[in-house]
């Protein structure tokens, strides 16, 4: 018993004599004391916190080699090995670039979707924005940097044509994201917003991961694995849509189908066309998702759509009408895979294919295209320590194009065709230099087998925090793109078209409360394709001597907090742009560009009746249009256009099933907008051209939909 008591007393005496004591001072890189830092000995319960002056004292009776740890939110953890005894340690804590307030490069980027912390728009905004009619493009056109072009329906970004914006799904190309465009009628996107959890809309200065886009890239991120079975039915005034999703362990499969027929609608309203075959279209999709045991994701998406329309238009001469007919079969598929290889490295890979077969008759002309776009790509992502990310990868894109063109039923066929293998490689770094500064650098290389030319495109982005929720962000980069197929089919002895982007912006606030953003940009175009308008079929008349520029200012304000149940955003864009390209022999403002664009979007939740009321008003300055005369092109200014769109969504139940009843009315004020004038295919008896006004095919458009979730 005495021996045991002696042993206990001995141990106590040793701990009383042989303890570890550390005193010191905690500061940041500016030498300022940090209050409340947690300082402790690793794997023990012994420690303390720094006082108001940053001083601390901690003790432990534990013997042997120890590790002193200092941790504080927003700073990198500090660790130092020490031995038993007394120590004086001054600790310098470095800011953690992974803190929640870390700045990120945002110049030129608009995030949309619930996965993005900086989302300007949420996923539901795409459906609930009045006037969007469930189109991703329709909702994005309320953001600054875009053109309100109801006569087109595609994304027109910062002075760029529609083909200058590329669409990618889960990182791989979607070659034909819109239905075939025919004169007089706007088109819309092929892909349903419900397929995607996130949208990254780059108005310029985009990542080196992507190429072949002079203006912008629209990045769509599809939904991951579904965890619940779903059966839904949509009954619309234009047709119907059904969706069924089945899930099992780490797998899900979705099958979607839709049918649209405008015959009944066109029979009730007045349009500017004489419809011989009202628009009829059908589509089917299948999506498979598999989550691997090591937290990877495999996705396979395949969709097909077919459509047909035929109508007559008044040619403007002696009551002569001409026919426009469009038939289109389109097929798209992709398989993508992402997988973490270890704690710091992951891989993303994918393949996609687009097969597009439009068959268009326009007056006497008959055009039948066969175009295949296929892309494969692979990318590695490395997290190298705190705030350092490296990404690099390769891609290969095949374009196989052929056309059968007949100018008149009695003329012979013209059969241009080409094939191009575009090889690409990129490397990019994202560096969080501190919690207040971020840097993004990258470079992209491409080689075209058709053009027999290569390009090297540097990219640079930087952001500096100016406050807790504010920052200045800037981007610079070179961007290259193959000439349009309408030009490559005549001549392949061309170079890449090129644009250089300079972007500077400031933003402040929180997306969930109030948010403000202002951004200026300058785009310089060079190597644009130019040709003699009278010699379209002669390859010798095509060259890359075209040039241009665009300078602009974008403003965006969103407020979700000031008025309960009300959220709204305002956007304004100013652009001054001119190009000397194509058949223009002078520097002209493209006919699809308005110098001023303003949009106001509002949504108000009426809880008493479970309704969401929405409205969108936009106004745009007039666009120039151009008349071809014997003395060259003559410029004509256009008129101001504007439109008010309204919608109402009511949440209810039908036979115990959650149901949404959606009503929308486009152009509620009945504005008679004229977006410009286009040359009629019908000429006067003396050979003079006739120009027809470009207007809405329907003055007002009403839509009713009932969306039922059956399980």
What digits encode the pLDDT tens for the residues 634-686? 999 999 999 999 999 998 888 878 888 999 999 999 999 999 898 888 888 88
User: Using 50, 70 and 90 to split pLDDT, how confident is the model at 109?
Assistant: low
What CATH class does 2-92 carry?
A: mainly beta
What digits encode the pLDDT tens for the residues 433-486? 877 888 899 999 999 999 999 999 999 999 888 888 888 999 999 999 999 999
Q: Where are the domains of the chain?
A: 2-92, 109-709
276-296 mean pLDDT: 91
How far from the centroid of its chain's Cα atoms is residue 518's Cα? 19
pLDDT of residue 577: 96
pTM of the model: 0.82
267-274 mean pLDDT: 86
As a residue count, the chain comes to 711
398-404 mean pLDDT: 96
pLDDT at 92 over 70: yes
The residue with greater pLDDT, 657 or 121, is: 657
**Contacts with 627 (C-beta within 8 Å, 6 or more apart), sequence order:** 633, 634, 636, 677, 689, 691
What digits encode the pLDDT tens for the residues 482-521? 999 999 999 999 999 999 999 999 999 887 789 999 999 9
DSSP conformation letters of 594-659 = BSEEEEEEEEEEEGGGTEEEEEEEEEEPPBPEEEEETTEEEEE----EEEEEEEEEEEEEETTEEE
**Contacts with 411 (C-beta within 8 Å, 6 or more apart), sequence order:** none
Report the range of poorest mean pLDDT among 71-85, 627-641, 694-708. 71-85
173-179 mean pLDDT: 90
Rounded distance between C-alpha atoms, residue 581 and residue 696, angstroms: 28
pLDDT at 4 over 80: no
pLDDT of residue 2: 38
- Bridge partners of 111? 119, 200
Assess contact for 96 and 76: CB atoms under 8 A. yes
pLDDT of residue 428: 94
The most confident of the ranges 1-15, 86-100, 251-265 is 251-265
Assess contact for 442 and 458: CB atoms under 8 A. yes
Rounded distance between C-alpha atoms, residue 203 and residue 143, angstroms: 10
Asked if the 109-709 domain carries CATH number 2.102.10.10, the reply is no
The residue with greater pLDDT, 179 or 108, is: 179
Number of alpha carbons in the 13 Å side-chain half-sphere of residue 205? 26
pLDDT of residue 110: 54
What digits encode the pLDDT tens for the residues 610-626? 899 999 999 999 999 99
Q: What is the DSSP letter of 416?
A: -
Among 610, 673, 678, 609, smallest CA distance to 642 is for: 673
* Residue 687 φ/ψ region, left for φ over 0, alpha for ψ in the -120 to 50 degree band, beta for the rest: left
What digits encode the pLDDT tens for the residues 217-263? 988 888 888 888 889 899 988 899 999 999 998 999 999 999 999 98
Ranges of H-type helices in 86-135: 123-128
User: Using 50, 70 and 90 to split pLDDT, how confident is the model at 346?
Assistant: very high
pLDDT at 556 over 60: yes
Among 238, 242, 209, smallest CA distance to 389 is for: 209
């Amino acid at each position: 018993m005495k021996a045991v008591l002696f042993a206990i007393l001995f141990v106590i005496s040793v701990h009383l004599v042989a303890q570890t004591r550390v005193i010191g001072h905690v500061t940041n890189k500016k030498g300022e004391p940090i209050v409340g830092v947690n300082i402790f000995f690793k794997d023990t319960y012994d420690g303390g916190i720094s006082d108001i002056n940053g001083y601390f004292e901690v003790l432990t009776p534990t013997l042997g080699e120890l590790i002193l740890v200092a941790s504080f939110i927003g700073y990198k953890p500090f660790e130092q090995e020490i031995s038993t005894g007394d120590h004086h340690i001054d600790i310098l804590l470095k800011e953690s670039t992974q803190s929640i307030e870390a700045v990120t490069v945002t110049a030129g980027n608009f995030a949309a979707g619930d996965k993005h912390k900086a989302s300007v728009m949420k996923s539901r905004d795409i459906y609930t924005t009045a006037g969007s009619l469930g189109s991703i493009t329709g909702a994005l056109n309320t953001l600054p940097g875009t053109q309100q072009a109801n006569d087109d329906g595609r994304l027109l970004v910062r002075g760029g044509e529609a083909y200058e914006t590329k669409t990618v799904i889960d990182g791989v190309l979607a070659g034909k994201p819109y239905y075939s465009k025919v004169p007089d009628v706007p088109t819309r996107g092929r892909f349903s917003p419900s397929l995607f959890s996130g949208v990254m809309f780059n108005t310029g200065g985009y990542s080196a991961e992507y190429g072949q886009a002079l203006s912008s890239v629209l990045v769509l991120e599809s939904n991951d694995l579904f965890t619940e079975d779903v059966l839904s039915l949509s009954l619309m005034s234009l047709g119907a849509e059904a969706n069924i999703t089945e899930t099992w362990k780490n797998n899900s499969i979705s099958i979607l189908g839709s049918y649209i027929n405008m015959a009944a609608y066109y029979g009730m309203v007045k349009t500017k066309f004489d419809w011989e075959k009202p628009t009829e279209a059908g589509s089917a999709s299948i999506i498979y998702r598999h989550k691997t045991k090591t937290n990877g994701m495999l996705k396979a998406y395949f969709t097909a759509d077919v459509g047909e329309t035929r109508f007559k238009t008044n040619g403007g001469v002696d009551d002569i009408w001409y026919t426009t007919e469009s038939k289109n079969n389109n097929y798209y598929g992709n398989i993508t895979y992402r997988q973490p290889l270890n704690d710091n490295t992951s891989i993303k890979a994918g393949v996609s294919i687009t097969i597009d077969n439009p068959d268009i008759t326009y007056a006497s002309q008959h055009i039948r295209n066969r175009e295949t776009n296929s892309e494969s790509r692979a990318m590695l992502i490395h997290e190298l320590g705190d705030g350092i990310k490296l990404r690099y990868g390769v891609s290969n894109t095949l374009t196989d194009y052929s056309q059968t063109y007949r100018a008149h039923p009695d003329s012979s066929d013209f059969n241009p065709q080409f094939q191009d293998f575009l090889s690409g490689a990129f490397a990019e770094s994202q560096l969080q230099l501190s919690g207040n500064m971020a840097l993004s650098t990258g470079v992209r290389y491409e080689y075209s087998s058709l053009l027999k030319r290569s390009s090297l495109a540097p990219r640079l982005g930087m952001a500096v925090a100016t406050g807790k929720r504010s920052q200045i962000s800037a981007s610079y980069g070179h961007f290259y793109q193959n000439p349009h197929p309408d030009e490559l089919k005549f001549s392949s002895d061309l170079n890449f078209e090129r644009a250089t982007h300079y972007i500077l912006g400031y933003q402040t606030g929180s997306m969930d409360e109030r948010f403000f953003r202002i951004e200026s940009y300058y785009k310089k175009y060079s190597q644009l394709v130019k040709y003699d308008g009278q010699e379209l079929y002669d390859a010798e008349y095509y060259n890359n001597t075209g040039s241009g520029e665009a300078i602009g200012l974008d403003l965006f304000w969103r407020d979700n907090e000031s008025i309960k149940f009300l959220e709204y955003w305002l956007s304004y864009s100013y652009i001054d742009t001119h190009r000397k390209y194509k058949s223009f022999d002078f520097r002209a403002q493209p006919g699809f560009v308005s110098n001023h664009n303003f949009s106001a979007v509002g949504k108000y939740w009426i809880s008493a009746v479970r309704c969401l009321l929405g409205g969108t008003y936009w106004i745009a300055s007039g666009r120039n249009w151009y008349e071809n005369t014997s003395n060259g092109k003559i410029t004509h200014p256009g008129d101001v256009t504007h439109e008010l769109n309204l919608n109402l969504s009511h949440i209810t139940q039908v036979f115990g099933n959650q149901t949404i009843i959606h009503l929308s009315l486009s152009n509620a004020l009945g504005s008679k907008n004229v977006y410009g004038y286009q040359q009629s295919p019908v000429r006067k008896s003396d050979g003079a051209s006739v120009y027809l006004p470009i207007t809405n095919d329907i003055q007002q458009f009403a839509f009713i939909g009932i969306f039922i979730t059956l399980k």
